[in-house]
Amino acid sequence: MNSKTVLGSLVVACSLLASMPASAAYSWTFSRSDCAGKVANSGVKSDWFTSCSSTGTPSSAPDATVTAWANTATGSKIESGYVGAYSDDPLHLGVVNKKEDGSQPNHAMDNNGYYDSLLMSFGGAVKLTSLELNYANTDSDLTVLAYYGSGAPVLAGKSYADLLSSGWKLVGHYADVYSNANHAATINASNYISSYWLIGAYNPLVDPSNPGWSATNDYVKLRSVTGDTTRVPEPSSLLMFGLAFAGLVYARKRRGSDAGGTGFA
Ligand SMILES: [Ca+2]
Ligand SMILES: [Ca+2]
């Protein structure tokens, strides 16, 4: 291996290292001004929102918009619902689906009768790492999905059983989240990164190999999500990095043996 090849290997190795961004932690909560300037009251339909948007913290975080969904359409298909935002500072986000009247506890995000979800759409790809609840009734199991399809996801008209074959990946099922310290759960051990995340009351319909938890008794409200924008290097990038490094070691060995030494003096 000549010096040009060694130099080339070095350039490849350095550029790969430089392409791995430093981690920056972001969090998103929703204030009154993020949700049409008002807080919902139980049973007052005009106080429910079709979406809320948060700029996130710090200000360099991608914006987040949240919308509500449930399988309340004919044939158990998914259709839009309302975001119910309760209390204040930050708001507690629930889902009032089109078959609910907004009374407690069904104005939470729940799976009693229909499966409620919140779709979080970010202004850039985000790797969510944790989520936090600030309300639960009875049980607090969750299901989280991330979108890897092309374009923006279309939920309306699909059934939950369609999602894993429509570009969605199962991030995980998380049991008893409200019972954890700080009512929070660490999520996404597989390091999925996406602009679209579907966070719902525990939903066995999306996943034939679901854990079989109780699926009618989860009522939760979402307080915040946390994440970053760190991309885990693709296996092909790791392979290129390994080859470049191996090239450097080989060149050094050759140079050492040519000089009659060990190459590692
Ligand atoms: Ca609900
Ligand atoms: Ca449950």
- pLDDT tens for each residue of 88-113: 778 889 999 999 988 889 889 999 99
The domain total for the chain is: 2
* Distance (Å, whole) CA 252 – CA 10: 13
Return the pLDDT at 215: 97
Q: Which ligand is nearest to the CA of 140?
A: 2
What residues have CB less than 8 Å from 103, skipping those under 6 apart?
A: 42, 43
Q: If you measure from the C-alpha of residue 239 to the centroid of ligand 1, how many angstroms do you get, rounded to a whole number?
A: 47
Exposed, middle or buried by CB within 10 Å (0-12, 13-18, 19+), for 236? Answer: exposed
Q: If you measure from the C-alpha of residue 221 to the centroid of ligand 1, how many angstroms do you get, rounded to a whole number?
A: 10
Q: Which ligand is nearest to the CA of 175?
A: 2
* 36 and 5 within one domain: no
For 172, phi then psi, to 5°, come to 160, 165
Q: If you measure from the C-alpha of residue 249 to the centroid of ligand 2, how many angstroms do you get, rounded to a whole number?
A: 55
For 199, phi then psi, to 5°, come to -115, 120
Q: Which ligand is nearest to the CA of 108?
A: 1
Two tokens, residue 185: 């759960």
Q: Which ligand is nearest to the CA of 117?
A: 1
Whether the CB-CB separation of 54 and 28 falls below 8 Å is answered with: yes
Q: If you measure from the C-alpha of residue 219 to the centroid of ligand 2, how many angstroms do you get, rounded to a whole number?
A: 9
Helix, strand and coil in the chain, % to nearest 5: 25, 35, 40
* 91 and 166 within one domain: yes
What are the residues whose beta carbon lies below 5 Å from ligand 1 (ion)?
95, 106, 110, 116
* 253 and 180 within one domain: no
Q: If you measure from the C-alpha of residue 253 to the centroid of ligand 1, how many angstroms do you get, rounded to a whole number?
A: 66
* 113 and 35 within one domain: yes
Return the pLDDT at 7: 46
Return the pLDDT at 76: 98
* 31 and 15 within one domain: no
Q: Which ligand is nearest to the CA of 174?
A: 2
Return the pLDDT at 25: 94
* 163 and 58 within one domain: yes
Whether the CB-CB separation of 141 and 131 falls below 8 Å is answered with: no
* 169 and 106 within one domain: yes
End-to-end, the C-alpha distance of the chain in Å comes to 19
* 200 and 186 within one domain: yes
Q: Which domain holds residue 126?
A: 24-228
Q: Which ligand is nearest to the CA of 200?
A: 1
Of the candidates 108, 120, 126, the one whose C-alpha atom is nearest the C-alpha of residue 30 is 120
What average pLDDT does the chain have? 84
pTM over 0.85: no
Enumerate residue ranges in the chain where pLDDT < 70.
1-23, 37-47, 232-265
